A = this chain, B = another copy of it.
């Protein structure tokens, strides 16, 4: 990392990065989709630069890399034309194929397909919890209920698999791809009126899983604590997301 730890804004000059052939991850510090790619890079110990993008006031030059202005985006500076990949799950699959160390997807095509379907079933969890996480006052009154029903699928699946991780005895792709949202749930204790926490009985296996994940050395590299997530989310609610709040100290 050779660039300042802050989010690039509209009007900012392009970051000056060495032409060292390292991957460049364009991301936002609190973005769970960006964290998915970070987990893949860290699990595979792939050196890279991270460039943080202000998602409200995007720098003009960012569209050169990500035509739709989305994060995460991964630029391959060692390849002719320095192409940029987008979509967290497509980037994750690319990294898994291109960097064979510590494979995270199952080798068996069927198990791989079943894991991808499970990750797809996480979409309703994300959609339901998003307005709550972002403290949106227009969040539908049943948002938390919908979130819990969607999350039940994962409690049931973990119970069915009967292993500590979705990946079995080791962390696998499902574990890392859903973790960023589970990391953010404890922030609801600080941001919701009812000081929301997951029900210990209803999510017994999933809460054990959360504890295990939180201790994973790879997870620790990108983990932010619940109070910091809450601080960011509250700044969002006030209409002024403080992207750099994590870099203050």
Contact = CB atoms under 8 A, between A and B. Distances in A.
Interface of A: 76, 79, 83, 85-87, 90-91, 93-94, 97-98, 109-110, 112-114, 116-117, 120
Nearest to A68: B121
Given A76-B110, A85-B114, A94-B112, 8 more contacts: A79-B110, A86-B117, A87-B116, A87-B117, A90-B113, A90-B116, A90-B117, A93-B116
Interface of A is mostly: helix
A83 B114 contact: yes
A76 B113 CA distance: 12
Contacts of A87: 116-117, 120
Nearest to A84: B117
A160 to B, nearest CB: 12
A110 B84 CA distance: 10
A120 B113 CA distance: 18
Contacts of A116: 87, 90, 93
